Structure 1
Amino acid sequence: MDRPPHTNRALSNVFLSQGIYFVIAGIWPIINMESFILATGPKQDTWLVEMVGLLSISIGLTFLVASLRNAPLPIVLGYTVAVSFLVMDVIYVTSGVIPRVYLLDAAIQLIFLTAVSIFILRKPR
């Protein structure tokens, strides 16, 4: 079966991995806010952390479903979400608002952006 445009197995696997990451990262503060705060520092508005968690789960599920169903991958959503998390992580870590542990998330987002870019820019053989 032919794959839809803008998809291939390797790129689909990148979205699958990022989807798993987003779902796990989103579920964590919802099921155990105490351990999340212990790892990431104190929070003023836990409802906002939970909302970001739910959004992360929603995005992750979108990536998972597209990847597993061999559907067209949400490239624009992938880029914009990864850039958003990356920029916010870097800005707020460097300004001292959030702890350096958030740079791990920034690194994951950068890896995702790099992998997607490589697979999109690669010329088919």
Structure 2
Amino acid sequence: MADGHPGKHEERPAGAPIASDPARHVALVQGIFYVATGVWPLVSLRTFEAVTGPKTDKWLVKTVGALIGVVGAALLAEARRPTVSPAGKLVGAGSALALAAVDVVYTSRGRISKVYLLDAAVELGIAGAWLLSTARRPGGLPS
């Protein structure tokens, strides 16, 4: 907000460290994870299915992968800003919770492999990290 406009973000210079806002760390980690896991079925559907189980609708797997990759790219862009926007936090936490819910519901119904429970645990960890990063203030936890 160097120009004084509320809600406007600056990007940090290349190579500058991610500082102060703990949400930037969460956005960075989730962004990397989502880009990697989102692109995976696009690059090698064979290895993706070897780990996660066979899929009947290959186009749907690729569509979801592309969308997860785009969310990851947006989170990486948020990580480059001095502070993560409220919309960035909503996308980060909301997507993690949505994916965890899908993982748990459809694993319990036997529609997807139990390996998705590992993803659910990761997603819940990410959602928890968003919660902690939002509760934190520079200098420690709020009083």
Q: TM-score, normalised by structure 2?
A: 0.78
Query: Do structure 1's residue 89 and structure 2's residue 84 form an aligned pair?
Result: no
* C-alpha RMSD of matched pairs (Å): 2.2
Question: Residues 68 and 124 of structure 1: is their aligned pair in 2 closer, same or farther, counting only changes over 3 Å?
Answer: closer
Matches for 1:1-125 after TM superposition, within 5 Å: 8-73=20-85, 74-125=88-139
Greater per-residue helix proportion: 1
Is the deviation greater in 65-74 or in 80-89?
65-74
Question: Percent identity of the aligned residues?
Answer: 36
Q: How many pairs are equivalent? A: 123
Per the TM alignment, residue 71 of structure 1 is displaced from its structure 2 partner at its CA by 5.0
Structure 1, unmatched stretches of 5+, are: none
Structure 2, unmatched stretches of 5+, are: 8-18
Greater Rg over alpha carbons, structure: 2
Per the TM alignment, residue 68 of structure 1 is displaced from its structure 2 partner at its CA by 1.8
Whichever residue aligns with residue 33 of structure 1, its letter is L
Per the TM alignment, residue 124 of structure 1 is displaced from its structure 2 partner at its CA by 4.6
CA distance in 2, matches of 1:97, 1:69: 39
